[in-house]
Amino acid sequence: MQRLNVEYTRKDDRGLLVQINTGLWKQVNYLLINKGDTFGGHYHKHKKELFYLLRGRIKVNEEEIKEGECFMINPLEMHAIYAMENSELIELLSEPYDKGDIFTK
């Protein structure tokens, strides 16, 4: 897992804008993971996944991630996301979902 900084944040009387990442992403997902549940437990040979934690608290491969933080999962990197609280994430994929690119060992 690679921790990333958001690219830009602006907060004023109108509200908040967080620019998560500039890049060529092929799919965007919203994830809601219930407290105590895990997503993942696999790796991909081809796809990168960038995550931004909107709300909650999670562990990714035993490393704690808090609200407003983002991280990248690179190809061949085994990963599992465990929700320490009810958590909401945005996920950006370098390639569209492909059931054939999910490996557990």
Q: How far apart are CA 90 and CA 50, in angstroms?
A: 8
Name all domains of the chain by residue range, CATH numbers in brackets.
2-100 (2.60.120.10)
pLDDT for 25-62, tens place per residue?
999 999 999 999 999 999 999 999 999 999 999 999 99
Q: What is the mean pLDDT of residues 2-22?
A: 95
Q: Which residue has the tokens 């040979």?
A: 45
| Token pair belonging to 12 | 């004023």
- For the cut 90, the answer to whether the pLDDT of residue 1 exceeds it is yes
Determine phi and psi for 55, rounding to 5 degrees: -145, 150
Say what the pTM is.
0.93
